[in-house]
Structures are given as C-alpha cells and as structure tokens.
Amino acid sequence: MKLVADTSVWVDFLNGVESDKCKLFDFHLENDLVIVGDLILLEILRGIRSDKNYNKTKSELDSFVQVSMLSPELASEYAGFYRILRKKGITVRKSGDIIVAGYCIIHDLPLLQKDRDFKPYEKRFGLRLL
C-alpha cells in the first residue's frame, strides 16, 4: 500500500531517529511505496543548510514518485474541509497540514505522521493515519 509521509517523519528519518514511525517509513521506502508531494519536497529541502547535503538529498528524492498536491480545484476542496472543521471550533494551524490532509483524503492514501493537527481530519473525514 502506497502512502504519503509528512515532513516530520522525513526529517526524523533523514536525521537517523530510531522510532516505530521511522521503521515503518523505511519499510515503505525499501518497497518503493512512498509518494512525495511537492509541498513535502519543499519543506524537506528548505531546511538543508549545506549545498552538499541539499544536492544529495534532492537527488535521492528525485527517484521517488512526486506529485503536485495543490491546484485551484484542490484548493477549493481543501478549504471546504478546513471550513467544516472551523465551524466545529477546530482550527488547523498550518496551511501545509491542510494541503497534505486534503490530498490524502481525496486520493485515499494513508498518511504517516506525528502531528496532532491531522487528528480532526481522521475523525471527521476518514483520513487514514499511520
């Protein structure tokens, strides 16, 4: 089963953190089951300070299936998800999380993550969290 991994999981993995999430992520990486969204690609690469590490990481990420997570049509759908949650008194703090959650919901992909802002999407819209 293919999945999307949120930036927080990527960062932990790239920094050598040992956790259950990183082990699950590694399994999916080894089996070519990870989809990299353009937003996640941006978030990963923007945090790399050295040119050498940037180029190495970018080259490695280029080998994965990469997708565009945002378009005008999708933006309207994602805003709809956000507005439903907002009406229930739930505010998702980061636009990036709104985009990632919406993409996974619309494309029926599980999301490997460690961010509490995704929980309302699981409860209200059936986002599959790993």
Each residue's pLDDT tens digit, 48-63: 999 999 999 999 999 8
Domain boundaries, the chain: 3-125
Record the tokens describing residue 112, joined without a space.
């490997």
Tens digit of pLDDT for each residue in 77-116?
A: 999 999 999 999 999 989 999 999 999 999 999 999 998 8
| Distance, CA of 101 to CA of 106 (rounded, Å) | 9
* 65: CB partners within 8 A, 6+ apart: 2, 34, 35, 36
Are 110 and 4 within 8 A, CB to CB?
A: yes
Q: Which CATH architecture has domain 3-125?
A: 3-Layer(aba) Sandwich (3.40)
Are 28 and 5 within 8 A, CB to CB?
A: yes
Sign of CA dihedral 80, 81, 84, 89: negative
**pTM value surpassing 0.85:** yes
Are 36 and 66 within 8 A, CB to CB?
A: yes
| Distance, CA of 120 to CA of 95 (rounded, Å) | 14
